[in-house]
Every structure is written in C-alpha cells, then in structure tokens.
Structure 1
Amino acid sequence: MSIKTGARLVLDLGGPLLWSTCLAAHSTVPCRSDVCAAAAVQDNRWNCSSSTDGRGGAGLCACSAYPYNPLNGQCARGDVTTTPMLANVTDGVNPLYPVAFPVHAACAPGALLGSLPSGAVGVAGLSGAPLSLPSQVAASLKVERKFALCLPGGGGTGAAIFGGGPFHLLVVPEEFGMVSNGLSYISYLRNPKNGGFYLDVVGIALNHRGADVPPDSLALDAGTGHGGVMLSTVAPYTALRPDIYRAVIEAIDAELRLIARTPPSWPFERCYQRSAMWWTRIGPYTASVDLMLAGGQNWTIVGASAVVEVSQEAACFAFVDMGAAAAPAVDHSPAVIIGGHQMEDNLVVFDLEKWQFGFSGLLLGTMTRCGNFDFSIGSQ
C-alpha cells in the first residue's frame, strides 16, 4: 500500500501494528499513556514484547514496541511515534478529496526490512488490535471498523478501502458494477495466539467430490492456537499441512488424470500442459477447489485462482506443501494458509465489529478485476 511519501507498506492481515523505518529525529510516546498500553497488546507470533526505557528524565520514559517482519519472522525494538498519514475519501468509484490524520506507529531499524519486497519501508498491520491500521483509521475518522481488500492479479493496481462500502468497479454490463451487493458473508474465527483471521472450514472438495482430509484436521484449537485455516496476505500461495496436502493432491490426480502433465516446477508439484487445458473467461479451468465452510457455504477457488502459469508450455496447481520453503514461517501451526494468489481478483471484506468476512468470488466471472477500481487520480 502506498503512503503519502510514495513509500510502500506491506499489508499483513495478522499484524497488530503499523511500523516503518524512522528519521533519527522523531517524536516519542510516553510510556505511561493509553497508547503505550495499547502497544503492549500484541499478538504472540514471536518472543518479543512491548517495553519502556528510561529516556526522557524527570521520571518520564519513552514507549517501545517490537515490530515484526511477517516474512522472515524477525522482530526488533523501536520507539512508538506519531506520524501523519494521508488518504483519499472515496464514494467507491473515484477519490473525492484527501484527508490527513495522525497514526501511532513503531520505528524499526533498516535491517528489519529484510525479505520484504523492494521499496517497502515497513508493514501495515490489519488485525483487530488497537493500533492496527483499520482500528486507528476508524478511531481518527469516525468510520466503521471495517476494511476491504482487492488484490490485483497479473499486475495493475488494486484497492484497500477502510471504513466500509459501497464498492464499485468499472465493468460492462453495468449491473455487475455494485460488487458489494453480491458478497457472501460468514463469521470468521480469531486465533488468540496470533491475531490472525481464520475461516471455519470443515472440508475440502475437488469438483464437488470431497478430498480424503483427516477428520477435524482443519479445526482451530482456540486453546493452543494450533490448526485452523488462516488468511494471509504475505504467503504467496495457499499452503497445506503435509497430511492435508497429500489428500488434496490425490484428489487432484483423480480429477485431472486425463490432462497431460509436465515436470514439476518448484514449489509446485503438479504441473500440466497448457495446450491440454480448457481456457475460459476465468482462466485455465482444471478443477474447482471448494473450501467447505461451516453453515453450508463454500468458498470456491477456480480458474486463475487455482492455477499459476509458470511458462508458455506449463501451468501448475497453485497449492504448496507447508513444508516447502515457499511457505512463510508462521507460528502456532495453521492447518492451511490461504495465500495471496488465491485472494487476487477477489473483493474481500473484514468487518471487525461483527466478526464477519465477506468475499465476492473470482471477479473475472463478472468480466472485471481488482485493477478496475479507478483510484488513479492521486490515490494514496
């Protein structure tokens, strides 16, 4: 996400803080303050905790926090500071006017940027924690504690919208324009151990035939924080625990046995000849993957969401074994991590007040995509 200076922050759905590198001269926050108390309410993905130091004299001290890099698992101590942010108010179609507001963020040393994408200066935490970006936007601008993400597939610019909808997309025919009218909503689960967003998934099906996933293997243990199906904007592809992965691979082999294979392309194990695939408006159609949700709904991963093109000759099933290096290190052992590729060109909404998750499904089916949010006029 771009900020007012043109610098960029990585979006982390489980992150409790906003953090970036800071100038040597920066403001600090007193340790005996509500903000510092909120900074101490961090998730437990690492063995760091918030603290204070003795700087300031006259019995005063400066508040510190421990920003966390979700890609390499590193954390470091840094001052809590106040910094201005600038966003554009929108009607869901175009930016209307800019609005500035202060946020509290943690400073971080440059070394903590390791493994982040080139040009990133920090991370924007999107969890429900008090100092996450959506919580601070809601408090400063008096909007709903709600945000939407539309991650672009195939390049282009997506959208991060804080405070609720409606959400319009530039599409033809016009009846597809109000995407927010077609969202499916379910309750999400929170893992008290890491602050992440989890879906209550009870099974996985390939082409509507259930994969032989071990019973209860997808459940989240609220006491230990283990298991469950977690949403992640920092995992590149959906990663499955080895026992679940093998069951899904066996199911995909049964469904795609007539499509000619090509050699594996790391980190993908199952790859196929592009020329043997059926190509549709939603991308190469191989098999639909249904995440079977409690309550009877499905989140269907299909077409471009289920497959990644690795060359002009081959496309691969876009799910990886959690043991592979491509899956980021995440504590508390989720059973499944739904990665960014599977969320691309989907509009997803997180309602932090109602604990609800909304999803559109693959937008290519309605002849649009996330790049059709037209926020190019000075969008910040």
Structure 2
Amino acid sequence: MLSFLQLIVTLLAFILSHKYEAIAEYVPPYSSLVVPITKHTDAATPLYSVQFETSWDITRSKIRRFLIDTDAPFIWNDCIVQWNIYPGSCPDNLLCVSPVSCEEYQCTQVRTSISFKNPSCQPETNSSTLPGWGYCTCPVNVVNPITGSCSQGLLNYEDLMLSTSNGMNPFDGIYDVTINGACAPSSSFESFPANVTGVLALSSSPYSFQSFFFQDQVMYRISLCLPSTTSTPGVLFYGNGPKYFKNVDVTSYLSYTPLLKHPDSFGYFIGVSSIVIKKRSIEVPMNTTTKLSTIEPYTTLRTDIYNQVIRRFSMVTKRFRTVKPIAPFGLCYKSYTNGTEYGLKVPDIDFGLENGKKWTVSTANSMKQVTKDVVCLAFVDGGATSEHGIVIGTFQFEDNFVSFDLKNSTFGFSSSLLSKQISCANFNFTTIASN
C-alpha cells in the first residue's frame, strides 16, 4: 500500500503531467496575426509601412508607423529610453520605453549576433548612462535603409500590439509582444515618408520582429501583399493557415522556390537561372545573386543582364512607339495618341527559377505609367559592378501574394493576383469577435 506521502507525490505528478499535456495541446482561436500595409508616395520613391500600437507611459498607448525592411537586423524607432517610467513622466509627443543595460545578456547577444557591420558606423561602447539610472546603456548602430547613413540608438524593451486573425478578418483580440528594439534620434529618419517613424525588421535575423513571438505557428511564416495604391491597404500576415481575399484562399496560388543565404546579409535571396521573354531565354550567369527587396522601387539588373533584357523586350514590342527614356528607366513608350489610350499590353517577363518554377511578371508589374502620355519598362540598370546581379523591387511585388517560410527556407509567390480578379486591397479588415 502506498504511504500518504507517496500518494500525494503520485497525485501531483499526475496533475502536472496532464497540465503540460493540456498546454501542449492548446490550439489558439487564431491562425495568424495581421497588420495593414500602407503605400507612401510622398518620399523620393514609393515605400511601404505597417502600423502598430505601442506601449506609452505604461498606462497609455500610441499608433506608430514602421517602414517595412527585409534587411534590418532589429526594429528601431523614434523614441527615448527612460529608466523610471510612471504615468505622466513622458511628454505627450514622445514615446518612452525602458532601457537595456550593457550588463544584460541581450546587449551582448544583439551586438554579437548582428555581425554584418556597416563601414560608416561608429564603434559601440558602454560609456553612456542615464541620469539616475546607475547602469550603462547599450548603444547599437542603426542604418537608414533609404540613405544608407548610420547613427546610434539605445537598445530597449518595448511592447508592440497587433491583431489576431483567422485569415479572413482580424479578431478583436490583441497579440502583445515584448521586443528588444532600439530608440534612435529623430535625425535617423531622413527621407522617410511623413508620419513613418520606425523600421520593421522583416528579415531572417535572430532579432527580427517575429523572433519574439511565443508560438511556433506565427513565428516561421511571413506573408505580404503590397498594395498598388495609396487609398486602400495591403496586408502583412504572420503565421500559417489560409489567407482569404474575396473569399478565395490565395495561398492556393503559391508556387515555391528555395530561399538562399547570403554570407553578409539577413535579407532574402532566390536563385534565378534565366529571364524569358516571349519564349526567348536570356541566361543568367551562374553564381548571380538575386535579392528580394522591400526598399528598392524597381527591379534592378546588372548591366550585362539589363542590356540583353532591353534588347529582347524592344524586339517584341516593335509595334509600339518608343519615346525618349525618362530616368531612371531606359525604355519608354507613348501610351496615348490624340487623347486615345493605346491599351499597351506587352508580353510577360518570366523569371526562370533554379528549381524549374517560373515567376511571371505581367504588364501590371512590368510597365510603369510615368507621365500621362508615357509608360516605361520598370527595370533599371544597376551598373556593371552591382553587388547583386538582380534585385527584385517593390513595383514587381505589388498585387502579388508572397510568403517567406523561415522553417523550411522556401519562398512562395503567386504572380499577379489581378489575373484572378483579386488585388492586395481585397483583404477584409472588418474586425469580428474572437471565440
């Protein structure tokens, strides 16, 4: 017969084992997290941002816009660190967050894990402190993704909030994430669109935003659909599960190709072996890197590749009247004659991928209306010595649904949704009650 003590121990073990089983089996009522994407045209080139609710003064919160950057190693924004935050201690026009000490492991980990150093950045030191703090702060370098300029921010603890979703609508539930980001001075945001005061790290870095999520189902897949207009938002998803636009699960349109690593970048790369225009293949030299960018506005090709594309595209569009190119483009056409639109429909451009799949760039993503009368091929000459042979820019992403599977290192792409009578503006942001 078990002693009374043995009986208690056995009972506790039984309860605890079932408790952890219940935790392991818990399935939340949402399949993804969702954030609207806004297109901005008030900067030098089109850029895209998301908005989060951020903690402010402990008891209050504020909406902030963050520029989407697939290269940034961590989130940073316009804020100040304050060691003793209490209601009323932070000015209304500022965001105050808690500092990370240089003696905390996060400081060392962020600095050592972010090994890709920009030569324009100053060395990081542990010499600064906050009044009344008593500990050294943790300066970290931040790089403006538009200008390339470097400045120093202070590592912080910060809360960001976003909506949960079933893939069809946002729920009224909030997903609260505590991150290690950085507060940077206002001067760091030169050339940003109006009211965009932060950078969202959408990269593969160990300190990107999704690395702070606490559930596997939303940590390892990032999907985005960039809008083609400023009037209606596109959408960013974190997580698995279906994604519905006009009651159609757009994940069913995805084809996949491997994501490739680059030794000096947290960005995303794929293998492109050819560019095909009207059944004629332009071979891409071996070892050519193809980068995916949310900052570059148009697809950039190294000069040797660019010249072949321009030559071939000119041949298959001879029936259209060319005009003097408008920078930064090298091939432009007249789109109106005597007030009548041509209805310019050009052949598709296919990126032939290394695994045999193809990413089709149709007219909506290849031709840019530059003036009322002129439309241009939205591919740019990147120069003879550009670091990457191909950089696929945001114009080619618009109204395409794409997905980064970080667990399986694959990139999913739909090609243009417009051919399905769907656009990135078709996600329904009407909030519904969660279960």
Q: TM-score range by the shorter chain?
A: 0.7 to 0.9
**Which amino acid in the other structure matches residue 6 of structure 1?**
I
Deviation at 1:311, TM superposition (A): 2.5
Cα pair distance change 1:304/1:375, threshold 3 Å: same
Q: TM-score, normalization: structure 1?
A: 0.86
Cα pair distance change 1:288/1:131, threshold 3 Å: same
**Deviation string, structure 1 residues 216-240 (Cα, Å, up to 9, x no partner):** 2xx24xxxxxxx0100000011111
Aligned to 2:285: 215
Secondary structure, counterpart of 1:190 in structure 2: coil
C-alpha separation in 1, matches of 2:362 and 2:252? 21
Residue 10 of structure 1: which of 62, 67, 70 is its match? Answer: 67
C-alpha separation in 1, matches of 2:253 and 2:105? 40
8 Å Cα contact 2:226-2:424 kept in structure 1: yes
Residue 51 of structure 1: which of 124, 128, 138 is its match? Answer: 124
**Which amino acid in the other structure matches residue 92 of structure 1?**
G
8 Å Cα contact 2:81-2:154 kept in structure 1: no
8 Å Cα contact 1:208-1:290 kept in structure 2: no
Residue 350 of structure 1: which of 369, 391, 404 is its match? Answer: 404
Backbone CA RMSD of aligned residues: 2.5
Cα pair distance change 1:49/1:290, threshold 3 Å: farther
Task: Report whether the alignment pairs 1:371 with 2:425.
Answer: yes
Deviation at 1:27, TM superposition (A): 1.6
C-alpha separation in 1, matches of 2:379 and 2:51? 29
Larger radius of gyration: 2
Residue 349 of structure 2: which of 286, 289, 301 is its match? Answer: 289
Residue 260 of structure 1: which of 321, 324, 333 is its match? Answer: 321
- Aligned identity (percent) is 31
Task: Report whether the alignment pairs 1:38 with 2:109.
Answer: yes
C-alpha separation in 2, matches of 1:104 and 1:91? 27
Q: Which portions of structure 1, spanning 4 or more consecutive aligned residues, are displaced by more than 4 angstroms? A: 55-60, 275-279
**Which amino acid in the other structure matches residue 90 of structure 1?**
S
C-alpha separation in 1, matches of 2:301 and 2:264? 20
**Which amino acid in the other structure matches residue 94 of structure 1?**
N
Cα pair distance change 1:49/1:88, threshold 3 Å: farther
**Deviation string, structure 1 residues 65-120 (Cα, Å, up to 9, x no partner):** 11111111111111100111110001111111222221111111111101222221
C-alpha separation in 2, matches of 1:109 and 1:314? 41
Deviation at 1:52, TM superposition (A): 4.3
Deviation at 1:141, TM superposition (A): 7.7
Aligned to 1:185: 256
Aligned to 1:144: 219
Secondary structure, counterpart of 1:81 in structure 2: strand
Say which is worse superposed, 51-60 or 190-199, in terms of deviation: 51-60
C-alpha separation in 1, matches of 2:345 and 2:107? 51
8 Å Cα contact 1:305-1:342 kept in structure 2: yes
Secondary structure, counterpart of 1:243 in structure 2: helix
Aligned to 2:26: none
**Deviation string, structure 1 residues 139-171 (Cα, Å, up to 9, x no partner):** 47863321111100123201111122311102x
Question: Residues 120-135 of structure 1: matches in 2 within 5 Å?
Answer: 120-135=196-211
8 Å Cα contact 2:71-2:201 kept in structure 1: yes
Q: TM-score, normalization: structure 2?
A: 0.75
Task: Report whether the alignment pairs 1:119 with 2:195.
Answer: yes
Residue 155 of structure 2: which of 75, 80, 99 is its match? Answer: 80
Aligned to 1:327: none
Cα pair distance change 1:376/1:70, threshold 3 Å: farther
Cα pair distance change 1:85/1:52, threshold 3 Å: same
C-alpha separation in 2, matches of 1:317 and 1:142? 40
**Which amino acid in the other structure matches residue 375 of structure 1?**
F
C-alpha separation in 1, matches of 2:163 and 2:284? 47
Aligned to 2:375: 315
C-alpha separation in 2, matches of 1:91 and 1:140? 15
**Which amino acid in the other structure matches residue 352 of structure 1?**
L
8 Å Cα contact 1:38-1:130 kept in structure 2: no
8 Å Cα contact 2:302-2:386 kept in structure 1: no
C-alpha separation in 2, matches of 1:182 and 1:69? 34
Cα pair distance change 1:140/1:105, threshold 3 Å: farther
8 Å Cα contact 2:299-2:390 kept in structure 1: yes
Unmatched tracts of structure 1, length 5 or more: 221-227, 325-330
Secondary structure, counterpart of 1:233 in structure 2: coil
Cα pair distance change 1:32/1:145, threshold 3 Å: farther
Aligned to 2:56: none
Aligned residues: 352
8 Å Cα contact 2:81-2:99 kept in structure 1: no
Cα pair distance change 1:334/1:364, threshold 3 Å: same
Secondary structure, counterpart of 1:37 in structure 2: helix
